[in-house]
Structure 1
Amino acid sequence: MSAVSLSKNELDAPTAQALEAILVSISGALLARGWMLATAESCTGGLIAAACTDLAGSSQWFERGVVSYSNAAKTELLGVDADLIAQHGAVSEPVARAMAEGALARSHAQVSLAVTGVAGPTGGSADKPVGTVWLAWCVDGTTHSEVQHFAGDRAAVRAATVRHALQHLSARLPR
């Protein structure tokens, strides 16, 4: 896999090799079960889907990716309730979970992952500073979620989000 989708500043060569190993693990687990993956991305703007599809043969296990950067896109494309966004904000656990569940409901996939966060350099707040990212995974009928606080500039936050989302997806897939 090349790091074409991620700029040189976002992903160095050793990290690209580690990411490829994670994707090979994910693809093997999904293929073994005949499952497909769907992604729902906000702050990463499609970088997770791009990383997945950089791996040759990914059409056998990667079903689709939705970039839902705006709140309207989250509602229209993923079915996230606008009231949920209004109540909790786009960068929140309920919205990340709804994005992951919406990606499954609107695809032919059996597994999904979603990310929503504040990549920076602007947009942060006292409650949700730059680097705050909510992640959610739907695997085998169960939705898992967590918050992370990544350091660095916009590129570093986005690259860390991609790596973390895929590492934790790999760990959650049954073998």
Structure 2
Amino acid sequence: MSEVTSTRPLAAAIVERYAAAGATIATAESCTGGMVAAALTDIAGSSAVFDRGFVTYSNAAKVAMLGVAETTLAAHGAVSEETAREMAEGARRNSGVDVAVSITGIAGPGGGSPGKPVGLVHFACTGPEGTRHREERFGDRDRAAIRQASTIVALEMLLAALPG
């Protein structure tokens, strides 16, 4: 789990690195509701790298906007590695960017189950080198803390996706 607590330094490093490389980004967010996109666009110069963000809170939005397969959602649920991967790949495909990141999880306080507890978040980041998945279990934190921690992990994945 990340020790970083602020999104600003990460977002600034991403904008700088992607701008230098001439690379572009899209986000596909569920439980964070656009917080990754907001962190990136808070940085001056982000328009050179940030193309768009998809906030796909409902399953219907994941299907319609990102092309997540209904069979994936039925078999694995919205909070799963499979859905996170399809979200990131759909965001990249539907925007034409170089790198896309996705987040889908259970921020609570309700909605968890023994198999998928509150604080479970799946991430995927896809780019020219393929798609990487990461799972975090943020545990018994409040909703705001889970969403903030998820935003930071997604930003870390974006930074790592483009070697600098």
Bin of the TM-score, shorter chain as denominator length? over 0.9
Q: Which whole-Å CA distance do the structure 2 matches of 1:30 and 1:56 have between them?
A: 13
Which runs of 5 or more structure 2 residues have no equivalent in the other structure? none
Q: What amino acid does structure 1 have at the position aligned with 2:162? A: L
Q: Which residue of 2 is the match for residue 5 of structure 1?
A: none
> How many equivalent residue pairs?
160
**Residue among 139, 150, 156 paired with 1:161:** 150
**Residue among 5, 23, 36 paired with 1:15:** 5
Q: Is the 2:101–2:157 contact (alpha carbons within 8 Å) kept by the matching residues of 1?
A: no
Q: What amino acid does structure 1 have at the position aligned with 2:12? A: V
1:10-63 Cα distance to aligned partner (Å, 9 max, x none) = xxxx933xx222112111221122111000000001111111111111111000
**Residue among 25, 34, 38 paired with 1:37:** 25
TM-score when normalising by structure 2: 0.94
Q: Which whole-Å CA distance do the structure 2 matches of 1:40 and 1:30 have between them?
A: 18
Q: Is the 2:28–2:101 contact (alpha carbons within 8 Å) kept by the matching residues of 1?
A: yes
Q: Write the mapping of 1:129-140 to structure 2, written as runs, cut at 5 A.
A: 129-140=117-128
Any runs of at least 4 consecutive aligned residues in structure 1 with deviations exceeding 3 A, and if so which? Answer: none
Q: Which whole-Å CA distance do the structure 2 matches of 1:94 and 1:120 have between them?
A: 21
1:95-152 Cα distance to aligned partner (Å, 9 max, x none) = 0000000000100311000000000001001110000000000122410001101131
Q: Which residue of 1 is the match for residue 111 of structure 2?
A: 123
Q: Write the mapping of 1:57-136 to structure 2, written as runs, cut at 5 A.
A: 57-136=45-124
The CA RMSD measured in Å over matched residues stands at 1.2
Which runs of 5 or more structure 1 residues have no equivalent in the other structure? 1-13
Q: How many percent of aligned residue pairs carry the same amino acid? A: 49
Q: Which residue of 2 is the match for residue 8 of structure 1?
A: none
Worse-superposed segment, 137-146 or 42-51? 137-146
TM-score when normalising by structure 1: 0.88
SS at match of 1:123: coil
